[in-house]
Each structure stands twice: as structure tokens, then as C-alpha cells.
């Protein structure tokens, strides 16, 4: 027993004194985080669908569009941060499982030796991170909401002073440049695909 009751126990002490299978607990917590990741994603996608519907139906009251676009942007930022928090804890438990496996000379969670038998470009499976791709999608929709919010503020402030065709062309051009730039950066630095 530790000298101080508040002192953290080592893994061996927990197994010995409490009869807890640490590896099972680690895998359960990892599974819990994965399930919560998708539950949160489903909740936020539903909320964002409602906000998008409200935005599209607000054509009669154009003065509300900037507010609705801002709410969509805010929800999307929280969504993106929530996904990253879930991913952090999932990876935390994966690291704990890998350390446990390394200590006990076996590999289950960190096994990456699978190589498919076929090499077709269109049907070949790749080790993409589904959770990171979901983060990417939430970031893209956050950029969309931000651009809609900026467009609506500019349209609201300048109303008739803008030439609609010139503004629309410039807005669409900037929107596509920002999206393509973000896609490039995300796939370059986001570690979306794992090496095999």
C-alpha cells in the first residue's frame, strides 16, 4: 500500500490490489471515446442542418441572414473543437494500449502489417483516418459559414451600393480560393492517411 493514500498507484499495484484488468479498461475507454466521437458528430450535423434550413428559408427576412450565418459558424467552430477533443482522448487511450502491449510483448491495437491483395486504384483500401476526415469536413463547413456570414454582412451594410454581378463573382472566386487552400493544407499537414 502506498505511504500516502492520495499517491497514484502503479499499473502493477492496481492489478495486484484491485483485480482490475487494465488492458480491458483501456480498450473500453478507447471504445467509449470512439462512440462519443460519432454521437457528437451526429448531434452537431443535425443542429447544423437545422441552421442551414433556417438560413435558406430566411430569404424573406434578409436582415436575419447574417445572424443565422453567424450562428452556423459558431456551431461549426464548436463542432470542430469537439471533434478534436474526442480525437485527442481516443489517441490517448491508443497510446496507453500500445504502451501496455509493448510492455507485455504483443501487438493488437498498433498492428499495421495488413496489406491488401489487390492494387487497383479505385478499389484499393487505404488507411485514411475517418475521424480526421470528419474534422476536415467540419472545418470546410465552418469556412462556408464564415464566408456566408461575411457576404451577408457586406450585403447588409452596403445594400444597393454593390454591383451584384461583380460582388458575386469576386465572392465566389475568393470562396473557392480559400476552400482549395484549406484542402491543400489539411491534406499536406493533417496526417489524414497513415503509411502502411
More confident residue, 117 or 145: 145
The mean pLDDT value for 69-95 works out to 89
Residue 91 falls within a domain, yes or no? yes
Q: Which of 53, 103, 89, 48 is nearest to 71 (CA)?
A: 48
pLDDT tens, position by position, 143-158: 889 888 888 877 777 7
pLDDT at 1 over 50: no
**What's the confidence (pLDDT) of residue 64?**
75
Return contacts of 168-173, CB within 8 angstroms, 24+ apart: 171/147
Q: Contact, 32 vs 90, CB < 8 A?
A: no
Closest CA to 135 of 186, 69, 195, 72: 186
Specify if 70 maps to a domain. Answer: yes
Tens digits of per-residue pLDDT, 34-59?
Answer: 999 999 999 999 999 999 888 888 66
For residue 4, tell me if it sits in a domain: no
Residue range(s) defining the domain that contains residue 141: 21-109+128-189
Q: What is the pLDDT of residue 164?
A: 58
d(Cα 70, Cα 149) in Å, to the nearest integer?
A: 6
State yes or no: pLDDT of 16 exceeds 90: no
Q: Is residue 119 part of a domain?
A: no
In whole angstroms, give the CA distance from residue 15 to residue 36. Answer: 27
Q: What is the mean pLDDT of residues 166-195?
A: 73
Q: Which of 53, 58, 75, 57 is nearest to 156 (CA)?
A: 58
- Count how many domains the chain has: 1
| 8 A C-beta contact, residue 71 and residue 77 | no
Q: For residue 6, is it within any domain?
A: no
13 lies in a domain?
no
CA distance 86 to 30: 10
pLDDT at 6: 46
> Does a structural domain hold residue 46?
yes
Q: What is the pLDDT of residue 181?
A: 83
Mean pLDDT over all residues of the chain? 76
Query: What is the value of pTM for the model shown?
Result: 0.67
Amino acid at each position: 500500500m502506498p505511504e500516502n493514500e492520495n499517491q497514484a498507484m502503479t499499473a502493477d499495484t492496481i492489478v495486484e490490489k484491485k483485480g482490475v484488468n487494465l488492458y480491458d479498461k483501456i480498450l473500453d475507454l478507447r471504445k467509449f471515446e470512439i462512440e462519443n466521437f460519432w454521437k457528437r458528430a451526429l448531434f452537431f450535423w443535425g443542429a447544423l442542418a437545422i441552421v442551414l434550413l433556417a438560413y435558406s428559408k430566411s430569404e424573406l427576412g434578409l436582415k436575419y441572414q447574417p445572424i443565422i450565418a453567424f450562428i452556423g459558424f459558431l456551431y461549426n467552430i464548436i463542432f470542430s473543437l469537439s471533434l478534436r477533443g474526442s480525437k485527442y482522448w481516443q489517441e490517448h487511450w491508443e497510446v496507453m494500449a500500445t504502451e501496455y502491449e509493448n510492455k507485455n510483448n504483443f501487438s493488437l491495437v498498433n498492428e499495421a502489417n495488413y496489406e491488401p491483395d489487390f492494387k487497383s486504384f479505385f478499389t484499393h483500401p487505404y488507411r485514411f483516418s475517418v475521424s480526421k476526415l470528419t474534422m476536415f469536413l467540419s472545418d470546410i463547413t465552418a469556412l462556408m459559414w464564415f464566408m456566408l456570414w461575411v457576404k451577408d454582412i457586406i450585403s447588409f451594410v452596403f445594400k444597393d451600393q454593390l454591383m451584384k454581378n461583380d460582388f458575386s463573382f469576386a465572392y465566389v472566386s475568393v470562396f473557392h480560393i480559400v476552400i482549395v487552400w484549406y484542402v491543400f493544407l489539411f491534406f499536406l499537414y493533417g496526417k489524414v492517411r497513415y503509411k502502411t
